[in-house]
Amino acid sequence: QVQLVESGGGLVQPGGSLRLSCAGPGNIFSIYRMGWYRQAPGKQRELVAGIIPGGTTNYADSVKGRFTISRANPSNMVYLQMNSLKPEDTAVYYCNARYGAIDVWGQGTQVTVSS
């Protein structure tokens, strides 16, 4: 069974940076579509960034130019580098892995942007 573990969240001031990490088993990230999602209180979960096995990435308009998703190959790690953080980036961030009918979520890590 695939399990994902996120880390790297925390409290940061506006304009600051954080890097989130997602660890999984073996070398699944080379064949799974990986994504970072977030959910703020009272809001629906939304896609922040995604990366497919070929390396193509996509981002939500709200984070383009500030966030970068990357995957270490061969590795079991996916990262989300977040720069120029804003209070509206405050949310629980989740790592997601998809392959066919397989859809796996991590437990989430809290990111709070506040002065």
**3-state class of 80 per DSSP?**
strand
Rounded CA-CA distance 101/82 in Å is 30
Closest CA to 14 of 108, 100, 87, 98: 87
Q: Which pLDDT does position 74 carry in this prediction?
A: 67
pLDDT exceeds 70 at position 44: yes
Residues 6 or more apart whose CB falls under 8 angstroms from that of 1 comprise: none
Half-sphere exposure of 94 (CA within 13 A, CB side): 16
pLDDT exceeds 70 at position 86: yes
pLDDT exceeds 90 at position 24: no
pLDDT exceeds 70 at position 109: yes
Q: Which pLDDT does position 53 carry in this prediction?
A: 87
Percent of residues, the chain, with pLDDT higher than 70: 97
DSSP class of residue 87 equals: G
